[in-house]
Amino acid sequence: MANASGFFTPSVPKLRTKIQPSMGISRSGFCFSRRFVCSAGTEGAEKQVSPSESRMPKLVSKGCKLVGCGSAVPSLSVSNDDLSKIVDTNDEWISVRTGIRNRRVISGKETLKDLAVEAARKALEMADFDPNDLDLILMCSSTPEELFGAAPQIQRELGCKKYTLAYDITAACSGFVLGLVSAACHIRGGGFRNVLVIGADGISRFVDWTDRGTCILFGDAAGAVLVQACAAEEDGLLSFDLHSDGEGARHLGAPMSDDKTDELLGSNGSVLDFPRKRSSYSCIQMNGKEVFRFAVRCVPQSIESALEKAGLVSSSVDWLLLHQANQRIIDAVATRLEFPPEKVISNLANYGNTSAASIPLALDEAVRSGKVKPGHTIATAGFGAGLTWGSAVIRWG
């Protein structure tokens, strides 16, 4: 049955439950438990229940809604024909396999931080909102230009005169969805009222431009959404479903590696591997077939779970908005969920895979073009490295 937040708590048969200590109610209205362990027995074998299944009902006194969006892309456009001059490929080969024809790449004096700030300002302008009234800024990115993140720098560039909290979320292509859920949690349980969620990535800096299996896929961009507290009956985040699986990390990642320059220069005076050699992140490494299988299997399940929690079916949802990774993935998920093509939002052809920026970028274009209107319901999902994946059912405006 639905609780006050619009979430549905599924029943799990024959649960053996240990609760230490008993449940309590926090001042925010959320139920909490310091220790809660659920397990289900199947023919004598122990099976751990997922967090989504064991999540306790939440008593939420207020909702949150999406009231403004914005996006920004680099000026340099790289077409498939441009890539054919670098690697052995062509426009037809790329477009048939991915649906991508162009991508934007940061160049010259452009920075990812500048794109994030531009997208943020556009979102605030749409909502006619003063940045000084922000309570929190969430920067969802796996490619910041500063090791310790970019959120505080964005706070400064926006001109926030008070010490608005700002921090980064690293969850690759699922980052923006996790940012939305985090914003809702801060509003519903932390007393925050205005949260700016930014998804921005400069993946092109970590692409091997001689590898046609990966360089054809990625682009750079930023997108932002302003999430605002509202009455419970106006709630715009109807449900969510989040997961991760570290076993799949081998299929998609950019691991740290020792700088080969140090090897040429010798041990740098190191004794017993100290001081450490300089390290840097490698280029993106991806097993495309495994990532495709993961996406078309897990994403529909996650969206179906979120729809069930919201008490909705796919036919009652106005739009399907997936992370823009590959058109084949988008089509396969839409078919599985029985979404007709005219209800699927996609701008992949123009921008490629922009990681955490892809969902807010596509949303912003759809809103500004008049496709998505206030009151429309959107099923959205992000998925990618980690492996991480998650979905949310949201209402625009």
For residue 294, give Cα distances in angstroms to 19, 229, 300, 386. Answer: 34, 35, 10, 12
Cite the active site residues. Answer: 173, 323, 353
C-beta contacts of 55-59 below 8 A and 24+ residues apart: 55/7, 55/9, 56/9, 56/23, 56/31, 57/3, 57/7, 57/9, 57/31, 58/3, 58/4, 58/5, 58/7, 58/29, 58/30, 58/31, 58/188, 59/3, 59/4, 59/25, 59/29, 59/30, 59/31
The β-bridge partners of 394 are: 237, 378
Task: Provide block-wise average pLDDT over 10 residues at a time, the chain (397 residues).
Answer: 41 38 35 33 40 40 92 97 94 96 96 98 98 97 90 96 93 96 95 97 91 92 98 96 88 70 52 67 79 93 98 97 97 97 98 98 98 98 92 97
pLDDT at 249: 77
First to last CA, the chain: 26
Q: What angle do CA 20, 26, 28 make, to 5 degrees?
A: 150
Nearest-10 Cα torsion for 320, 176, 190, 135: -110
User: Is this prediction's pTM over 0.85?
Assistant: no
* Burial of 242 (C-beta count, 10 Å sphere; 0-12/13-18/19+): buried
pLDDT at 295: 93
pLDDT at 270: 54
How many other β-carbons are positioned within 10 Å of the β-carbon of residue 98?
21
Round to whole Å and give the CA distance between 216 and 81.
11
- Alpha helices, H only, the chain: 51-54, 80-83, 91-98, 112-126, 151-157, 175-190, 260-265, 288-310, 327-337, 348-351, 358-368
DSSP 77-100: EEEHHHHTTTSS--HHHHHHHH--
Q: 275: number of CA atoms within 13 Å, CB side?
A: 7
Round to whole Å and give the CA distance between 254 and 208.
11
Classify residue 158 by its DSSP letter: T
pLDDT at 251: 79
Matching residue, tokens 């799990």: 12
